[in-house]
Structure 1
Amino acid sequence: MAVVAVVAVLLAAVIGLQSTTGHSAGSPYDDDPAIARLDPALRDALRRATTAAAGDGVVLHVNSGWRSPEHQARLLREAVKEYGSAEEAARWVATPATSPHVAGDAVDIGGSGATAWLSAHGAAYGLCQIYDNEPWHYELRPAAVAGGCPERYADPTHDPRVTS
């Protein structure tokens, strides 16, 4: 099974999924800042889940991990333009002061196969989908290992951590 995980990581590197921007990464095993600056417990859970998923033939690709406050601010400005208002943008992008990505506490996982695998198996690693409208957004909830993931918020505007 470990060989499969290594092959998945190498495949991601070969097809160019690794980033040099520090705001997006490919593999949870990267040393890119987007991975290296994640909370260590989240990074460990993500790596364990990646190895298990690889055993099932699924590659967990990290589209976004840790983000700098400047990057988060840019994403928020872009969302305001795209959605037409700060209120609507807040359903998708938190401020730099409240973003779990800036704190290193969140990852966005790419690919419907990967998110489906995490939806079915993520709780065993403490990895939980947090928002109904963002099936790619996962955070560490250690209690999920024993009790399952907590109820999700409809979107970030319902999350008191993000709206406070």
Structure 2
Amino acid sequence: MNQNPSSARTTTGRIRWLPVIGLIAVIAAITAALGYQVSQSSSSSSAASPANTLRIEHRGGLGEADGAVPDGVTVFDDEIPAVVNLDPDLLKALRGAATDAADNGVELYVNSGWRSPEYQNQLLREAVAKYGSQDEAARWVATAATSPHVSGDAVDLGHSDTTVWLSKHGSEYGLCQIYRNEPWHYELRTHAIDYGCPRMYADPTQDPRMQK
């Protein structure tokens, strides 16, 4: 059977191009996957609490007895000092909210709760190193003498669905976001049940309690 030479050249060309096209497709798929992973990582990092980042990096320094929190802890974990050493009324409100939030598929995970003075001072030292000055660090981490974490009156809650749910329903339990720059930080304000949460401070440096 005779074959047209030009047709043969076309067929050969197509065959030669097939591996190249396949290689290009593979490279494109790998690039897209890597790009997605970087994007997800950047998104998670941008949403992380600076204090929580320090907590994760130095979890082994002082340990759970001083308030370090392992991954996956909820407000119901009685064996974790950072949870059980919270103010009893705050913990009761958190557990009441968590029980109702579970009906919407939301769990209240604890990133940080009660902290020992030593642990709080460690976080502050590292915040100064991270942000370059005491003034900038104060926007994120309080001293041991002023921190509501040390007194057991504050909790940092994790996972975006948790904070989204609390932003809508937290006041029903007296749970209020206190600082605009810290959507994870909640404290108990019982009057919020009837009157709503008070106006937020821009950051902890605007809170009169931090001026002691």
TM-score by length of 1: 0.86
What's the counterpart of residue 55 of structure 1?
103
What's the counterpart of residue 29 of structure 1?
76
- The answer on 1:155 being equivalent to 2:198 is no
Q: Distance in 2 between matches of 1:52 and 1:121?
A: 10
SS state at 2:201 partner: coil
Structure 2 unaligned regions, length at least 5: 1-62
What's the counterpart of residue 94 of structure 2?
46
SS state at 1:151 partner: coil
1:35 is matched by which residue type in structure 2?
V
Quote how far apart the aligned CAs of 1:88 are: 0.3
- The answer on 1:136 being equivalent to 2:179 is no
The one-character-per-residue Cα deviations of 1:60-107 (angstroms, maximum 9, x if unpaired) are 101000000000000000100000000000000000000000000000
1:151 is matched by which residue type in structure 2?
R
Instruction: Give the CA RMSD over aligned residues.
Output: 1.0
What's the counterpart of residue 96 of structure 1?
144
- The answer on 1:145 being equivalent to 2:188 is no
Matched pairs, number? 145
2:211 is matched by which residue type in structure 1?
T
Contact 1:131–1:156 (8 Å) recurs in 2 = yes
What's the counterpart of residue 160 of structure 2?
112
What's the counterpart of residue 5 of structure 1?
none
More strand by share: 1
More helix by share: 2
Identity %: 63
Structure 1 residue ranges (4+ consecutive) displaced by more than 6 angstroms after TM superposition: none
Instruction: Specify the structure having the higher radius of gyration (Cα).
Output: 2
Q: Distance in 1 between matches of 2:118 and 2:211?
A: 19
Structure 1 unaligned regions, length at least 5: 1-19
Say which is worse superposed, 108-117 or 29-38, in terms of deviation.
29-38
Q: Distance in 2 between matches of 1:59 and 1:39?
A: 20
